A and B are shown apart, each in its own frame.
Chain A
Amino acid sequence: MEIDGDTNEDNSRRIQVRFVTKLKAPYKVPTTAIAIPSDLSRLGLSSIVNKLLQAVVSEWKTEPFDFLINGELVRMSLEQFLLAKGISAEKILEIEYIRAVAPRKEEEPSPHDDWVSAVDGSSPRFILTGCCDGLGRVWKEAGLCTHILEGHSDAISSVSIINSEALGSVTVATASKDRTLRLWKFDAEDSNDHPAMIRAFKILRGHNASVHSVAAKTSGDMVCSGSWDCTINLWRTNDSDTDGDVVSIKKRKVNSKAEQSQSEGEAVSMLVGHTQCVSSVVWPQHETIYSASWDHSVRQWDVETGKDLSNIFCGKVLNCIDVGGEGSALIAAGGSDPILRIWDPRKPGTSAPVFQFSSHSSWISACKWHDRSSFHLLSSSYDGKVMLWDLRTAWPLSVLDTHKDKVLCADWWKGDSVVSGGVDAQLRICSDISIP
């Protein structure tokens, strides 16, 4: 099968290629080898595949594709790519195509009263945001706020959904600059026009300085928090009184009509070792906590013993950390420079990052791995951009430039959307991102 649409193709070389895919039926093209000009780049390849698909399905809507050759994304012209990778152009080249990872839809922004400083999209049913006005908000969808978490006296710096599997009530944790963490419970399903005000059922006190990060254990019975006072505290989340933690039950003094008990919790244990502010913590596995700190290090903690297992020195102040990717072992972290670094702690004897992505132009405020794909992650930066990355290429897959000012937080939602909040006090949702 030959494509000879253009006349100026004759002065360029032609390569025999075969398009393959793992996509399902409507995306399949015939697997015969065709000759295409070698100076085609991603756009040209995409149009070819779209034409092929049009030949199969009559009313085909054009769609952008991304192309993989030997497991690497094509980001230049085919000729350059083959030269750079040293691939022979004599044989029939197998090009795998996937749907391009780019948002196809931008949803309505969800306005806040102040900077949106934290977001968690780990539950597909709702989005939890934390705001600098001290309120947490629960959004069922874009623009639809169902609950407001009220109680912090200072800006919320981090939010975490503890368990969302339970159908009825959902437990979430928020960390705030007022040196406390609060645990909240609400029913995610009930929806009315007016957002319901929720009070915390438990206040966790114990940090001496503002709390910067909170992360929940996968089983949901504990949370850990990193603070400016250089410590990581572990807390129990169960409100019941199995332990002797509950010290006092205070009646709320200010608003006496909504009588509700608020218990106070104390830290179960404290992980000491960082010398400066612990800016971010993650708790991906049962026994291990990863933390990033302003003392330029990433530490891996054993929860049982309270000792740090490993220490990766970065040289820059770190603001965010996430663990995921291949085998859920790669550590991605960003901080006070525009480079998103990814370490592989399984690699012995080196603390050099295995990947460095440097397309941002300012501090990186958040980075998150996609929970299904081991290649994709996102990062948000103070330059106002959210970038989607694929480990298989050094260029960003797409740049979401929807925010007007610094982006402070970003997360995946439902596996195909990106939620982000920033200084412009908007929660923005970019959806319909096809990630295989």
Chain B
Amino acid sequence: MNHQESQRPEKVNPLEMRDLGFIESGNNDGLDDNHDQDELADSSQSRQAVDESDSSEDEVAPRNTIGDVPLEWYKDEKHIGYDIAGKKIKKKERQDKLDSFLASADDSKNWRKIYDEYNDEEVELTKEETKLIRRLLKGKAPHAEFDPYAPYVDWFKWDDAKHPLSNAPEPKRRFIPSKWESKKVVEYVRAIRKGLIKFDKPKEEPRLYLLWGDDSSSADRTKHLAYIPPPKPKLPGHEESYNPSLEYLPTQEEINTYQLMYEEDRPKFIPKRFTSFRSIPAYENAIKDSFERCLDLYLCPRVRKKRINIDPESLKPKLPSRKDLRPYPVTCYLEYRGHEGAVLSISVEPSGQWIASGSKDGTVRIWEVETGRCLRVWELGEAVQHVAWNPLLELPILAVSVGSDVLILNTGFGNEEQQRKAKELLQIGTPTSSDDSDDISSVLSWLQDEKHDCIRLRHFRTVSSIEWHRKGDYLSTVMPAGESRAILIHQLSKKLTQRLPFKHHGLPVSSVFHPTRSIFFVATKKNVRVYDLLRQKLIKKLETQLREVSSIAVHPAGDNVIVGSKEGKLCWFDMDLSSKPYKTLKCHPKDITNVAFHRSYPLFASCSDDCTAYVFHGMVYADLNQNPLIVPLEILRGHTSSDGRGVIDCKFHPRQPWLFTAGADSSIKLYCH
């Protein structure tokens, strides 16, 4: 009841306020009557003074004026407090508790009496007051007269109002969505995203799990990067069966041979047959096996094997299709037959009408390209090492190396004017070598050969290769055994010979003039040296990294060089790029005997002793940033091997994408596109 009273609304009568104070003082004993009577009166008077305006119903003003102090302060005093005048209010005489109880038991109105400790008196509640308390307890308005549901009286009259109450326009907030709400929503959304608000229901734990399942794939294990599942023990197969098929059972002899084997090679398990399940003995190695398995598991280091899964096709360089690189020589249609020994060298006339060939049988032949007809034959008596047609169209002469001689032959082609000039050129008037240095004249002599009506340049060593300068006046000869005078340059118009003014390194193999500039390439067995003839100095040394260089060819633009080697490798040098090979192509199983560039088509070829010639697409771009494109195109077969040699020379037709090959089988073949 007291608790209920504490929740009373503010507007209560002072009596209840007193009750409140009385209860708050902590003294729960409602029957305590230690206080003096007069004190009670005083306090009630003082109360009266405090709440004077409050209530008119209080017939007795509270006399006690001590205020809101704990009443036990006055417990041992004779008074309970002071009245408004400052006089002590005496405690009333204590009634005997038993008497008072008896009295209250007798009194029917006792339930309505309350002891007011503060004023030290007994108050009897009136009927109205109890009603009021009851109403309050029910949560109704304290006064019965108060009607909470009184009809609403609309004091404002709307009937004749033309205008709304306010002339102000409808505020904007009525139309826009609430900013606060959206903020709140955003807040919730963020919280959901962050995971602060969770919707998920508690997961049901699967009640069943695979007892023998593969726990290596379980999620918590694989989360660790370093976890490597242990290797699984081998599962038993048919031969471990208690009743295996007969083919699994070893015969007695096999079992005996097991005894002869080493311990490691011996099979771990020998299949046996049992008639029934019941007769199987215990496995004697069970403990040993599981022990070893445990040893394996914890002692054996496990490493994750890195397997790179790359499609080998994707590693190949992207090369254009062969079809797009046409034309290039493909099939052999023509054959030039007539030589009786291996054809060692061929040379195509610069217009492409004839080819010359030199053979081991000591003949030089000129063939018509179109028909394969042999037009001229020179019998020279010794194996012809090299033939080279003069690069000038109007000078149809041919340089031929026979042993240690170089013959410059007049082919007899061309019109009368050209013939006259050629004949004039091939006449040696007076032996002029006075301005030569002595060492040259001792090793070389210009002679007139009457038999073949030509010039004979007698060298002191075997000449292996001849190369014309592009203007057709100079030619260089290479004598591999010539030491310091291995490479000589002859001038045909003045019949002069000079030594290459550079120190030689290694054994020279071949020499080439640059197609446009005054640059000279000398291929030795190991590398290629590039000299500037005008400034007389070494420009570059190309390191082939090959065992033995056999041939060299210069791209018609002059910046790229290919070098063939005796181990079957072909090196492509880009002179602007580096002195190391740009590409090394290993395609021939045997020696490369010669390499050649086409004059106008982007083709180059190599021929080898394995009786094949390879044709490549070798595109050199004008753009310096773009590397040359090299695509293998075709393997030309057809020659047969003879004395271990296959194709000895190859040359391109100067105008058509055709390739001539000279073979040791004494034939020359023409491969056309």
Distance from B412 Cβ to chain A, minimum over Cβ atoms (Å): 10
Give the residue of B353, B373, B673 whose beta carbon is less than 8 angstroms from that of A228: B353
Is B353 a contact partner of A210 (Cβ separation < 8 A)? yes
**Chain B residue with minimal CB distance to A212?**
B370
Is B672 a contact partner of A406 (Cβ separation < 8 A)? no
Distance from A65 Cβ to chain B, minimum over Cβ atoms (Å): 36
Distance from B166 Cβ to chain A, minimum over Cβ atoms (Å): 88
In the complex, which residues of chain A have a beta carbon less than 8 angstroms from the beta carbon of B373? Answer: 115, 132, 155
Q: Which of A179, A315, A336, A382 has the most CB of B within 10 A?
A: A336
Is A277 a contact partner of B333 (Cβ separation < 8 A)? no
Q: Which of B351, B371, B672, B673 has the most CB of A within 10 A?
A: B371
In the complex, which residues of chain A have a beta carbon less than 8 angstroms from the beta carbon of B371? Answer: 115, 117, 406, 408, 423
Interface residues of B in 645-673 (CB under 8 A from A): 655-656, 658, 672-673
Interface residues of A in 191-238 (CB under 8 A from B): 208-210, 228
Task: Tell me whether A294 is interfacial, beta carbon within 8 Å.
Answer: yes
**Chain B residue with minimal CB distance to A365?**
B371
Q: How far is the CA of A315 from the CA of B327 in the complex (A)?
A: 8
Task: Tell me whether B575 is interfacial, beta carbon within 8 Å.
Answer: no
Task: Tell me whether A171 is interfacial, beta carbon within 8 Å.
Answer: no
Is A276 a contact partner of B353 (Cβ separation < 8 A)? no
Is A362 a contact partner of B351 (Cβ separation < 8 A)? no
Is B353 a contact partner of A336 (Cβ separation < 8 A)? no
Mark contacts of A303-342 with chain B using CB atoms, 8 A cut-off: 1 yes-contact digit, 0 otherwise: 0000000000001110100000000000000001110000
Task: Tell me whether B252 is interfacial, beta carbon within 8 Å.
Answer: no
Taking chain A's interface residues, is the majority helix, strand, or loop, or is none over half, making it mixed?
loop
Q: How far is the CA of A336 from the CA of B658 in the complex (A)?
A: 10
Taking chain B's interface residues, is the majority helix, strand, or loop, or is none over half, making it mixed?
loop
Q: How far is the CA of A317 from the CA of B333 in the complex (A)?
A: 13
In the complex, which residues of chain A have a beta carbon less than 8 angstroms from the beta carbon of B658? Answer: 336
Distance from A407 Cβ to chain B, minimum over Cβ atoms (Å): 11
**Chain A residue with minimal CB distance to B326?**
A315
Task: Tell me whether A67 is interfacial, beta carbon within 8 Å.
Answer: no
In the complex, which residues of chain B have a beta carbon less than 8 angstroms from the beta carbon of A276? Answer: 655
Give the residue of A210, A316, A382 whose beta carbon is less than 8 angstroms from that of B334: A382
Task: Tell me whether A363 is interfacial, beta carbon within 8 Å.
Answer: yes
Is B673 a contact partner of A208 (Cβ separation < 8 A)? no
Is A294 a contact partner of B334 (Cβ separation < 8 A)? no
Mark contacts of A348-359 with chain B using CB atoms, 8 A cut-off: 1 yes-contact digit, 0 otherwise: 000000000000
Task: Tell me whether B442 is interfacial, beta carbon within 8 Å.
Answer: no
Is A336 a contact partner of B672 (Cβ separation < 8 A)? yes
In the complex, which residues of chain A have a beta carbon less than 8 angstroms from the beta carbon of B351? Answer: 209, 228
Task: Tell me whether B372 is interfacial, beta carbon within 8 Å.
Answer: yes
Task: Tell me whether B415 is interfacial, beta carbon within 8 Å.
Answer: yes
In the complex, which residues of chain B have a beta carbon less than 8 angstroms from the beta carbon of A317? Answer: 656, 672
Q: How far is the CA of A228 from the CA of B672 in the complex (A)?
A: 19
Is B673 a contact partner of A406 (Cβ separation < 8 A)? no
Is A319 a contact partner of B370 (Cβ separation < 8 A)? yes
Distance from A55 Cβ to chain B, minimum over Cβ atoms (Å): 51
Is B415 a contact partner of A179 (Cβ separation < 8 A)? yes
**Chain A residue with minimal CB distance to B416?**
A179
Is A336 a contact partner of B333 (Cβ separation < 8 A)? yes
Distance from B225 Cβ to chain A, minimum over Cβ atoms (Å): 63
Q: How far is the CA of A423 from the CA of B372 in the complex (A)?
A: 10
In the complex, which residues of chain B have a beta carbon less than 8 angstroms from the beta carbon of A228? Answer: 351, 353
Q: How far is the CA of A406 from the CA of B373 in the complex (A)?
A: 11
Is A382 a contact partner of B353 (Cβ separation < 8 A)? no
Q: In the complex where A315-B327, A406-B371, A408-B371 touch, is A277 in contact with B353 (Cβ < 8 A)?
A: yes
Q: How far is the CA of A423 from the CA of B415 in the complex (A)?
A: 27
**Chain B residue with minimal CB distance to A208?**
B415
Distance from A180 Cβ to chain B, minimum over Cβ atoms (Å): 10
Is A363 a contact partner of B333 (Cβ separation < 8 A)? yes
Is B415 a contact partner of A382 (Cβ separation < 8 A)? no
**Chain A residue with minimal CB distance to B672?**
A336
Interface residues of A in 49-97 (CB under 8 A from B): none
In the complex, which residues of chain A have a beta carbon less than 8 angstroms from the beta carbon of B370? Answer: 279, 319
Distance from A420 Cβ to chain B, minimum over Cβ atoms (Å): 15
Q: How far is the CA of A363 from the CA of B351 in the complex (A)?
A: 20
**Chain B residue with minimal CB distance to A319?**
B370
Interface residues of B in 330-383 (CB under 8 A from A): 333-334, 351, 353, 370-373
In the complex, which residues of chain B have a beta carbon less than 8 angstroms from the beta carbon of A337? Answer: 333, 672-673
Q: Which of B333, B351, B655 has the most CB of A within 10 A?
A: B333
Interface residues of B in 371-416 (CB under 8 A from A): 371-373, 415
In the complex, which residues of chain B have a beta carbon less than 8 angstroms from the beta carbon of A363? Answer: 333-334, 672
Q: How far is the CA of A173 from the CA of B495 in the complex (A)?
A: 45
Q: How far is the CA of A141 from the CA of B333 in the complex (A)?
A: 33
Distance from A364 Cβ to chain B, minimum over Cβ atoms (Å): 10
Interface residues of A in 379-409 (CB under 8 A from B): 382, 406, 408
In the complex, which residues of chain B have a beta carbon less than 8 angstroms from the beta carbon of A155? Answer: 373
Q: How far is the CA of A279 from the CA of B488 in the complex (A)?
A: 41
In the complex, which residues of chain A have a beta carbon less than 8 angstroms from the beta carbon of B334? Answer: 362-363, 382
Distance from A189 Cβ to chain B, minimum over Cβ atoms (Å): 34
Distance from B104 Cβ to chain A, minimum over Cβ atoms (Å): 133
**Chain B residue with minimal CB distance to A210?**
B353
Distance from A422 Cβ to chain B, minimum over Cβ atoms (Å): 10
**Chain B residue with minimal CB distance to A338?**
B333
Mark contacts of A272-290 with chain B using CB atoms, 8 A cut-off: 1 yes-contact digit, 0 otherwise: 0000110100000000000
In the complex, which residues of chain A have a beta carbon less than 8 angstroms from the beta carbon of B333? Answer: 336-338, 362-363, 382
Q: How far is the CA of A217 from the CA of B372 in the complex (A)?
A: 31
Mark contacts of A85-121 with chain B using CB atoms, 8 A cut-off: 1 yes-contact digit, 0 otherwise: 0000000000000000000000000000001010000
**Chain B residue with minimal CB distance to A295?**
B655
Q: How far is the CA of A373 from the CA of B242 in the complex (A)?
A: 92
Q: In the complex where A179-B415, A363-B334 touch, is A209 in contact with B372 (Cβ < 8 A)?
A: no
**Chain A residue with minimal CB distance to B332?**
A362
Distance from A215 Cβ to chain B, minimum over Cβ atoms (Å): 18
Q: How far is the CA of A283 from the CA of B371 in the complex (A)?
A: 24
Is A294 a contact partner of B655 (Cβ separation < 8 A)? yes
Distance from B371 Cβ to chain A, minimum over Cβ atoms (Å): 7
Q: How far is the CA of A208 from the CA of B370 in the complex (A)?
A: 18
Mark contacts of B305-336 with chain A using CB atoms, 8 A cut-off: 1 yes-contact digit, 0 otherwise: 00000000000000000000001000001100
In the complex, which residues of chain A have a beta carbon less than 8 angstroms from the beta carbon of B655? Answer: 276, 294
In the complex, which residues of chain A have a beta carbon less than 8 angstroms from the beta carbon of B372? Answer: 406
Q: How far is the CA of A115 from the CA of B327 in the complex (A)?
A: 31
Interface residues of B in 613-671 (CB under 8 A from A): 655-656, 658
Q: How far is the CA of A384 from the CA of B353 in the complex (A)?
A: 23
Mark contacts of A392-436 with chain B using CB atoms, 8 A cut-off: 1 yes-contact digit, 0 otherwise: 000000000000001010000000000000010000000000000
In the complex, which residues of chain B have a beta carbon less than 8 angstroms from the beta carbon of A406? Answer: 371-372
**Chain A residue with minimal CB distance to B655?**
A276
Q: How far is the CA of A277 from the CA of B656 in the complex (A)?
A: 12
In the complex, which residues of chain B have a beta carbon less than 8 angstroms from the beta carbon of A279? Answer: 370
Q: How far is the CA of A179 from the CA of B353 in the complex (A)?
A: 14
Distance from B372 Cβ to chain A, minimum over Cβ atoms (Å): 7
Q: In the complex where A115-B373, A179-B415, A315-B327 touch, is A209 in contact with B672 (Cβ < 8 A)?
A: no
Q: How far is the CA of A362 from the CA of B655 in the complex (A)?
A: 20
Mark contacts of B97-118 with chain A using CB atoms, 8 A cut-off: 1 yes-contact digit, 0 otherwise: 0000000000000000000000
Distance from B647 Cβ to chain A, minimum over Cβ atoms (Å): 21
Is B673 a contact partner of A316 (Cβ separation < 8 A)? yes
**Chain B residue with minimal CB distance to A177?**
B368
Q: How far is the CA of A406 from the CA of B333 in the complex (A)?
A: 11
Mark contacts of B414-427 with chain A using CB atoms, 8 A cut-off: 1 yes-contact digit, 0 otherwise: 01000000000000
In the complex, which residues of chain B have a beta carbon less than 8 angstroms from the beta carbon of A319? Answer: 370
Distance from B315 Cβ to chain A, minimum over Cβ atoms (Å): 35
**Chain B residue with minimal CB distance to A115?**
B373
Closest 3 CB pairs of A and B: A362-B333, A336-B672, A363-B333
Question: What are some 14 contacts across the A-B interface (CB < 8 A)?
Answer: A179-B415, A209-B351, A209-B353, A277-B353, A279-B370, A294-B655, A336-B333, A337-B333, A337-B672, A337-B673, A363-B334, A382-B334, A406-B371, A423-B371
Given contacts A179-B415, A317-B656, A336-B658, 12 further A-B contacts (CB under 8 A): A115-B371, A155-B373, A209-B353, A228-B353, A276-B655, A279-B370, A294-B655, A337-B333, A337-B672, A338-B333, A382-B333, A423-B371
